[in-house]
Structures are given as C-alpha cells and as structure tokens.
Amino acid sequence: MGSSISLCLLIVLAILALAIEPASAQDTPRKLHGACLPSGRLRGKAGKCNREHDSECCVPGKSYRRFKCSPPVVAGGTRAHLTVNSFAKGGDGGGPSECDGKFHPDHEKVVALSTGWYAGGSRCGKKIVVRANGRSVKAKVVDECDSMNGCDQEHDFQPPCPNNIVDASPAVWKALGIPDSVGYTAITWSDA
C-alpha cells in the first residue's frame, strides 16, 4: 500500500513538473505549452531615432529580447497590444512598408504585425479587424513590426518589437475612438 501511494505521488509530481514553466524558460528559444518564448537577444546601439509618438530608442549595450514567433492566433480574436506608428515618409516607422515598398499617409488605416503574425508576408495586403473600446475597424497589413531585428538605421534605432504587437496608423486609433497620444493599449484582432 505504501509503495503504491509513493508511486502515485511520484507520478503527480512528475506531471506537475512538466506543467510548470521554469523561470529560466523566458530566455530559451522554444515554445512551451503553446507560449512563444524569446529566440535570443540583441545588444542595443545608439543612433538617430525618431521620437514621434513617444517611440522607444535603443540604449547602447542594453539587451533586447528577439522573437521569431508570436502567440497563437485564436478564433474569435487574438489578444495583442496596439501601438501607434506613422507609416508616412519621415514618420517614426522608418523606411517604406515591407509589403509594397511604399509610404502610407496617417489618414490611411494600415498596420504592421509582429514577426510571427506577419508570417513572412503571408498577411500582406490583407485586412484584419482590430477591436478595442467597444469598437472595431478594418485595417490593411502593410508591414512587419520586426521582432527579430532593431537598433539599426533600417529600424530607426528602435528596439525589436515585442511578439504581440499590432502597430497601427493614427487613423486606426481614431476609428477606435482612442487618442493616439495613449500610445499603447490592449486589443483583440482577427483576420477579416
């Protein structure tokens, strides 16, 4: 009887050990229980950074997490964070959009998705639905919010994007009834 209780206890402990994410897993390049974990780190370099929309600029020597993946896309809406970005020439978005090689004026409803959701450009030109503040808006995917690279001229000396970002033009924020001065807010999004 005692050995069967011990065996059951060992099995329960083994199951619990597999189900609990170790604290150090945050820095490993793998998925654990469907979560997207960092794929490495990038050292910050200083340069001329556009501070429009309170953009974060790289700090020399600081370590930034990189992601090849994003959280899984789920039916009914994927949770994300909305950030504001100007896709216009001279805006804080840096160079032209990845999908079409063009700049887009701030009145156009366009977004960039974190690397995993951008999926190598498979969502380029497609619309997504962004929901927040009791409203929804359709926006066209025109760019990648690069979660692997940053702190260089191509990325306007801004750090890599987190893995759960929908980077949206001021027009998207306006359609949601949220001042773009807020700069960062929780949303859900889905393919249109």
Q: Is position 104 within any domain?
A: yes
Q: How many domains does the chain have?
A: 1
| pTM tops 0.75 | yes
In a 3-state reduction of DSSP, which class is residue 136?
strand
Q: Is position 137 within any domain?
A: yes
Q: Is position 74 within any domain?
A: yes
- For residue 80, count CB atoms less than 10 angstroms from its CB and return exposed for 0-12, middle for 13-18, buried for 19 or more: buried
Domain membership of residue 110 as a residue range: 38-191
- For residue 8, count CB atoms less than 10 angstroms from its CB and return exposed for 0-12, middle for 13-18, buried for 19 or more: exposed
Q: Is position 8 within any domain?
A: no
| pLDDT tens track for 112-128 | 999 999 999 999 999 99
Q: Is position 11 within any domain?
A: no
Q: Is position 13 within any domain?
A: no
Of the ranges 12-16, 128-132, 182-186, which one carries the lowest mean pLDDT score? 12-16
Q: What pLDDT was estimated at residue 29?
A: 39
CATH number, domain at 158? 2.40.40.10
